[in-house]
Amino acid sequence: MSIKTNTILTNEEIIHKIRRIAYQIYESNVNEEKVILAGIDSNGYILAKKLKTVLSKISTIKPVLCKVTIDKKNPLNKIKTSISAEEYTNKSVVLIDDVLNSGTTLVYGVKHFLDVPLKQFKTAVLVNRNHKKYPVKADFKGISLSTSLHEHVDVILEGDNFEAFLN
């Protein structure tokens, strides 16, 4: 695939960012036996799976995957997780998404996890766009971009050739 002029991150750069974020998660959870990687469906969950693979190779921490399903058009609707609340109670949780745009999806995801006591809560995104409507930040981020509101960031994490680009 030829590199587009609006490419933000190439395949190699995304692989590097995933590895770097995994090390940051490890560093902030070095004393934990387990960390919950809660990926927002769909690309956030794919990113969480990739982070789990790297984290398993670089540390003794047992990463536990959790798929978080949020209705992005109606974020007040019930949020579903693939693991029960008991499984992440008093654990270290990292909420993961591919792009942080306005912060709406991330803030409702954060709100959901705050219904139970947690040991630690962090957020991770591949691309941080800095257009926040809510006071939510990414603790771990691959890249921060200043974009206009009418630009759109697309991230492709399927297959063997990852890419992030502006539309």
* CATH number for 111: 3.40.50.2020
Residue 43 lies in a domain: yes
**Mean pLDDT across 30-45:** 96
Angle at 45 between CA 15 and CA 125, to 5 degrees: 60
What integer is the mean pLDDT of 98-117? 91
Distances (CA, A) of 92 to 2, 26, 37, 130: 40, 11, 9, 25
* Residue 96 domain flag: yes
Tokens of 127: 């691309």
**Residue 26 lies inside a defined structural domain of this protein:** yes
Rounded CA gap, 136 and 41, in Å? 19
pLDDT at 89: 96
The conformation of residue 47, written as its DSSP 8-state character, comes to H
Say what the pLDDT of residue 3 is.
Answer: 46
Q: Which domain holds residue 73?
A: 7-166
Cα dist. 94→12, 135, 143, 149, 166 in Å? Answer: 24, 17, 17, 27, 26
pLDDT at residue 5, as a whole number? 58
**For the packed helices 11-28 and 43-58, what is the interaxial angle rounded to 10 degrees?**
60
- Can you tell me whether residue 99 is helix, strand or coil? strand
Does a structural domain hold residue 2? no
Residue 57 tokens read as 């190779």
The whole model's pTM is what?
0.92
Q: Is residue 155 part of a domain?
A: yes
> pLDDT of 42-84, one tens digit each?
899 999 999 999 999 999 999 999 999 999 888 889 999 999 9
Indicate the number of domains in the chain: 1
What span, in angstroms and rounded, lies between the C-alpha atoms of 99 and 145? Answer: 10
